[in-house]
Amino acid sequence: MPEQILTRSNLPFTADVERQTRAIYERVRHVIPEVEWPVHAPLIAAINELKRDRNAVILAHNYQTPEIFYGVADYTGDSLGLAQFGAATGADTIVLCGVHFMAETAKILSPDKTVLIPDERAGCSLASSITGADVRALKARHPGVPVVTYVNTTAEVKAESDICCTSANAVKVVDSLGVDEVIFIPDQFLGRHVASRTKVRLILWEGACEVHERFSGQELRDFRQQHPGIHVMAHPECPPDVLAEADYVGSTTAMIQHVADARPREVAMITECSMAGNVAAEFPDVRFIQPCNLCPHMKRITLDKILACLQAGRPVVEVDPAVAVRAKQALDRMLAVGRDAKPGPAPGGID
Ligand code: SF4
C-alpha cells in the first residue's frame, strides 16, 4: 500500500498530540492563544516525528512565526547562524525555514547535505535588487575597489565579491580591509549606517529591504508620544531618520541579546513583525508594542509546507559548485575577521 500523505486534513488534535506538544505550548502560551493550539499542534507533532525519521534538522530564521520558531525548529537565528549550525550538524537534510538566499548560504556551507526550502518562491527584495552582472559592472566602473557584500544576497552575487558582512559586523569588515574606499552592496540604508561609523568612503547600491524601508522617523515620534518611556530598537536596514530616532540599533541577534541584558519594561522592535512575537515569548516580563511590518516572503513558509517538503524531499536548493566555491571564499574571509561585533549606539541615541 502506498504511504499515506500527511496533511492538515488527516491529522486530528488527539490526546496523544496534546501530550506530545504540551511542553512546546507552555513556551508560546504568551503569544499563541490556547484556542489556536489545536490548529498547529497536529502538524508540529507530525513534523517533529518525520524529521527524526529522515535525519533532518529544521533551521528557522528569527522572522518565522512562533509556531515554527518554537514548534519545530532545531536552531533559530540569523541567516549566517543558521547556515553555520547546519554545517556543524550530522544531519543528512537541512530544511531551511527562511528565504531563498538563506537556503543557498546553507548549501554553500554544507555542499554534501540536501538542503530543502518549504517554498522556493520565498525571495527577498534586497537579494533580488542586484545580480552578478551588476557587480561585475560596478567593479569595471571602480577598478581595484574591493566589494563588501551583505549576506542578504544570492550566491552569484557573493561569488563576485571580495568579502561578505552581516549587519552586526559590517563596520568591522569594512575597516579590516585597510583601504580608503569600498563598494558596499546591496542595502543603501545599512550602507549609510556603516558610512556614519567609519572613515572609509562607501560606494553604495540602491537596494533596500521592502519591510524595513516602510518605517519612518515620524512614525516613531508619534509612537513615543503614545507610549512615553518606551525603549525603541531598530534594525540597521531601516532608513536613516528611523535609526536617528532609535535608542538602540542592532542586528536581529544583537536586539535579542540587548533585551536579555537591558530588560526594558516596554519595547518596540522596529523590524519584521514575527521577531517581536518570538522574543516576547522568551521574555514575558517585557511588554512588546509592535509597529508591525510583515515580510511577505518569510510568511510563505508555513507548517503545512514544511510537512509537505519533508515528506516529498523537495524543493531541493542547489548552487552551481563553481559559484559556491567563490561565494564561500567571500564568506570565509568575513568569518576570519569575526562573526559578530558589538553594535554601537544609535546615532544620537543610547547603546
Ligand atoms: S525582511 Fe527584508 S531583507 Fe529580510 S527577507 Fe524580507 S525582504 Fe529580505
Residue with CA at minimum distance from ligand 1 atom 3: 209
Residue with CA at minimum distance from ligand 1 atom 2: 209
Residue with CA at minimum distance from ligand 1 atom 5: 124
CA of 232 relative to ligand 1 center, distance in Å: 20
* Alpha-helical runs (H) found in 196-295: 217-226, 240-245, 252-262, 273-282
pLDDT of residue 348 exceeding 60: no
CATH superfamily ID and name for 212-288: NadA-like (3.40.50.10800)
CA of 210, closest atom in ligand 1: 7
CA of 123 relative to ligand 1 center, distance in Å: 8
| Residue 347 preceded by cis peptide, ω within 30 | no
pLDDT (average), residues 76-82: 91
8-123+298-312: CATH topology: Rossmann fold (3.40.50)
Task: Read off the pTM.
Answer: 0.93
Question: Which residue's entry shows cell 556543524?
Answer: 88
Question: Is 190 close to ligand 1, i.e. is its CB under 6 Å away?
Answer: no
Question: What residue spans define the domains of the chain?
Answer: 8-123+298-312, 127-208+320-337, 212-288
The predicted structure's pLDDT at residue 247: 96
pLDDT of residue 66 exceeding 90: yes
Question: Is 245 close to ligand 1, i.e. is its CB under 6 Å away?
Answer: no
100-145 pLDDT, tens digit per residue, is 999 999 999 999 999 999 999 999 999 999 999 999 999 999 999 9
CA of 209, closest atom in ligand 1: 2
pLDDT of residue 346 exceeding 50: no
The predicted structure's pLDDT at residue 339: 65
The predicted structure's pLDDT at residue 347: 31
Burial of 229: CB neighbours in 10 Å, binned 0-12, 13-18, 19+? exposed
pLDDT of residue 342 exceeding 50: no
E strand segments, 82-236: 93-97, 114-116, 147-150, 163-165, 181-185, 201-204, 231-234
CATH code for the structural domain at 127-208+320-337: 3.40.50.10800
Which set of grid coordinates corresponds to residue 302? 508555513
The least confident of 10-19, 78-87, 331-340 is 331-340
The predicted structure's pLDDT at residue 281: 87
Is-same-fold flag (127-208+320-337; 212-288)?
yes
Structural element, H or E, at residue 77: strand 75-77
The overall average pLDDT reported for the chain is 93
207-220 pLDDT, tens digit per residue, is 999 999 999 999 99
158-171 pLDDT, tens digit per residue, is 999 999 999 989 99
The predicted structure's pLDDT at residue 345: 33
The predicted structure's pLDDT at residue 191: 98
Secondary structure percentages of the chain, helix, strand, coil, to 5: 45, 15, 40
Residue 136 CB neighbour total at 10 angstroms = 12
Question: Ligand 1, from 99, 271, 275: best to mutate by most atoms within 8 Å of Cβ?
Answer: 99
Question: Is 152 close to ligand 1, i.e. is its CB under 6 Å away?
Answer: yes
CA of 99 relative to ligand 1 center, distance in Å: 8
Question: Is 272 close to ligand 1, i.e. is its CB under 6 Å away?
Answer: yes
Question: Is 78 close to ligand 1, i.e. is its CB under 6 Å away?
Answer: no
The predicted structure's pLDDT at residue 332: 95
